[in-house]
Chain A
Amino acid sequence: MSTLREKLENTDDLVFTAEFPSIDGGGMASVEKNAARLAPWFDAVNATDNPAAHAHASNTTTAIAMKMYGLEPIMQIVCRDKNRLAIQSDMMGASLHGITNISLLTGDDVTAGDEPEARRVFDVDGIQAINIARGMATGSYLSGRKIDPAPDFYIGAVENAAAPPFEYRIQRALKKHRAGANFLQLQICYHPDRLEAFCKGAAEVVPELKLIPAVALVKSAKSLNFMNDKIAGIDVPAASMARVQNASDQRDEVYQLTLELAKHALSLPGVRGLHITDFRHDDSLAQFMSDLARVPSY
């Protein structure tokens, strides 16, 4: 049984999720090191699928390795690199290894990455992939071919609450739930007003969907700028940028800004947890979690 599912479906506890760093070199030692750092704080951790269209160790193998070192993976699958056959075999392969949290995304385009000349696939889109996962969880591949016993998937998705067209994003969340998503991790968001409007709307229209907004721990105005310019769908308001830029201690100012965003996100209707992407890789993660009144489990 997935801890994530247990907590979200059968308790009122908040869940905390994180992003597992992409694995390139470093082998299992690198997986072990990162797992040890994240395990005390997080209920489940995302095993990403070639994030930002850069090749890394694959989603399935990373999820298996994380599990070996005691982390509960949320295995992401994006539609950019794989057709419908490969997406289904990813899910079946995950199930073979006892990985049940599956999150399905459309994914960044190939042009976001370092191999923009690659062929993009998008044979299905994120919402279609969710529906295919639900079909598998109820006992059949997309073709109708039976799977017995059916894999026990806990299906999730991702939505961007702060990208146009804003008012439609709530309907899109509903559509993802109708396709089969139980939880929704949200894109990192620097617009508390947009996040609030989205969560209020989603909590009303689709109260069964568990919302998990995201924040990013970054070091400076430069990294905020990078996210604003380079990550599709992330916009940092000029006022927030100026606040960090003009601060005497940028590290502390951006930390405080992120903490405010996190506390605000956790106060919103429909919100059942927080997703944290740590780009700082310093000791601030523990501080951040303590400031959110979290206690580590060892």
Chain B
Amino acid sequence: MLKKLLPLVEHALKAPVWDCRMCGQCVLHSTGMTCPMTCPKTLRNGPCGGVRENGNCEVKPEMQCIWVKAYDRTISLPLPKVWKEHYNDLRPPVDMRLQGSSSWINLVTKRDQQTPAGWSVKDRDH
């Protein structure tokens, strides 16, 4: 029941504000409250190299680059410091099986933390 209801509630709340695409593995907090799934290339680690001189998108010239917006907001919004520090995190590929499910449930169950076994090769020290 909850599994059916929560995605509806989540979408109803998040779609009008963030244009939420229900990827089921929400990273809004680390991207200045800007949804990376609204990037035409759905980049989780943007911005790409095609950003225009005015900061707009390579694909949609009339739209500000999602990742430029995310960067500006990460700096300017009064977000918790720990969220801001996550901006440059290496985000794993999207798990397509979670599309349409509630990211709130996936957060609580830690399902959204699961990555393929070959993903977590040790990060280089920096």
Chain A interface (Cβ < 8 Å from any Cβ of B):
79-80, 84, 106, 108-109, 111-112, 120, 122-128, 131-132, 134-136, 138, 140-145, 158-160, 163-165, 168, 171-172, 174-175, 177-180, 187, 206, 232-233, 235
Chain B interface (Cβ < 8 Å from any Cβ of A):
40-53, 55, 58-59, 65, 68, 71-72, 88, 90-94, 96, 116-119, 121, 123-124, 126
Would you mind naming 20 contact pairs between A and B with Cβ atoms under 8 Å apart? A106-B49, A111-B59, A123-B94, A123-B96, A127-B45, A131-B119, A138-B121, A140-B118, A142-B118, A160-B49, A160-B50, A163-B51, A163-B52, A164-B51, A164-B55, A165-B72, A175-B88, A175-B90, A232-B58, A233-B58
Q: Which residues of A contact B59 (CB under 8 A)?
A: 109, 111
Contact of A233 with B49 at beta-carbon distance under 8 Å, contacts A125-B43, A135-B118, A144-B118 already known: yes
Question: Which B residue sits closest to A138, measured CB to CB?
Answer: B121
A211 to chain B, nearest CB (A): 15
A125 to B119, CA, bound (A): 14
Q: Which residues of A contact B51 (CB under 8 A)?
A: 160, 163-165, 233
Contact of A108 with B50 at beta-carbon distance under 8 Å, contacts A143-B117, A178-B90, A233-B58 already known: yes
Contact of A168 with B71 at beta-carbon distance under 8 Å, contacts A106-B49, A109-B50, A187-B49 already known: yes
Tell me if A122 and B118 are in contact (CB < 8 A): no
A63 to B6, CA, bound (A): 50
Task: For B92, give its contact among A128, A145, A159, A206 (CB under 8 Å).
Answer: A128
A160 to B51, CA, bound (A): 9
Tell me if B121 and A120 are in contact (CB < 8 A): no
A135 to B122, CA, bound (A): 9
B80 to chain A, nearest CB (A): 19
A297 to B60, CA, bound (A): 46
Majority secondary structure of chain B interface residues (helix, strand, loop or mixed) = loop
Question: Which B residue sits closest to A163, measured CB to CB?
Answer: B51
Tell me if A144 and B117 are in contact (CB < 8 A): yes
Contact of A140 with B48 at beta-carbon distance under 8 Å, contacts A109-B58, A165-B68 already known: no
Q: Which residues of B contact A159 (CB under 8 A)?
A: 49
Q: Which residues of A contact B44 (CB under 8 A)?
A: 125, 128
Q: Which residues of A contact B94 (CB under 8 A)?
A: 123
Among the interface residues B93, B96, B118, B121, which one has the most CB atoms of the partner chain A within 10 A? B118
Tell me if A132 and B118 are in contact (CB < 8 A): yes
Contact of A108 with B53 at beta-carbon distance under 8 Å, contacts A125-B43, A125-B45, A175-B90 already known: no
B126 to chain A, nearest CB (A): 6
Contact of A164 with B118 at beta-carbon distance under 8 Å, contacts A128-B45, A171-B88 already known: no
A134 to B50, CA, bound (A): 25
Question: Which A residue sits closest to B43, measured CB to CB?
Answer: A125
Q: Which residues of B contact A180 (CB under 8 A)?
A: 121, 124
Question: Which B residue sits closest to A124, measured CB to CB?
Answer: B93
B88 to chain A, nearest CB (A): 5
